[in-house]
Amino acid sequence: MGAPTAIELLEDLISDLESKLNLAPGADPIKTNNAHENNDNKPKKEKKKQPNKTSAAAAPPEDLPDICKLEFKVGLITKVWVHPDADKLYCEEIDVGEESGPRQIASGLRPHYSEEEMLGKRVLVVANLKAKNLVGFKSHGMVLCAAETLEDGSEKVEFVEPPEGAPLGEVVTFEGLPAPVPASPAQVEKKKLFAVCMDGMKTNDDCVGTWNGHVFMTSAGPCKGRSVKGGAMR
């Protein structure tokens, strides 16, 4: 090979300069520098903070009546079957208007209702209780009933039923009291709110469900039993 020409020497110098400046071959160093400056000066987008899904629900106001910290929802029993390992329990699927679908709940009602009588029944579900395992079946709530002791010593138990016009999922209010602000299941459990309220929960002389005289109400009217008067509600 002969001695390199002037053009070849110039091309070698350009390649060496591109390498030192970390430029792509043939790139315009002025445009590239401006691009770096623009990127450095461009304000960075802040990442949106995601809501904390694990944060605990706010506790209801302390001066709110305890009954207003419980959540009673209008529901419909869409499926019922005998618990395979418990003599008194039914397992139910109850539609309470939730997007997640019907709730599975166990109830000790076999001595009082047949499967046919349970199916299609409109009921009140205590919806903010902690889920509990009942003989191996996880129960997500409780069906509200009224009970009375008969003369022969036996017990009569019947549903406290919402009226036909009340939509599924509606939360019961209490006549003369503030709107409910349901506590979290953990708060209900910790403060034993359902047990605290039980003393005041009973049907009146018209079989209507009440708490210390305040009627269980829906948009379609009061919730009531069929025949139990002055019966404890649980």
The confidence score (pLDDT) of residue 36 equals 47
Low-confidence ranges of the chain (pLDDT < 70): 1-57
Query: Residue 134 belongs to a domain with what CATH number?
Result: 2.40.50.140
Start-to-end C-alpha separation, the chain: 104
**Domain membership flag for residue 31:** no
* Containing structural domain, residue 158: 66-233
Q: Is residue 12 part of a domain?
A: no
Residue 98 neighbours by CB distance under 10 Å: 14
**Alpha-carbon span 66 to 46, nearest angstrom:** 43
Let me know if residue 223 belongs to a domain: yes
> By the 8 A CB rule, do 155 and 148 touch?
yes
pLDDT tens digits, one per residue of 127-161 = 999 999 999 999 999 999 999 999 999 999 999 99
Residue 189 is assigned to a structural domain of this protein: yes
pLDDT at 58 (0 to 100)? 72
Q: Which two tokens stand for residue 21?
A: 């400046």
40 inside domain: no
Q: Where are the extended beta strands (E) located within 36-144?
A: 72-82, 90-95, 103-107, 122-126, 132-134, 137-139, 142-143
Rounded to two decimals, the pTM is 0.75
Q: Does the residue 221 lie in any domain?
A: yes
> Per-residue b/e over 3-31, b at no fewer than 16 CB within 10 Å?
eeeeeeeeeeeeeeeeeeeeeeeeeeeee
Q: How many domains does the chain have?
A: 1
Whether residue 229 is contained in a domain is answered as yes
The verdict on residue 49 lying in a domain is no
pLDDT at 166: 98
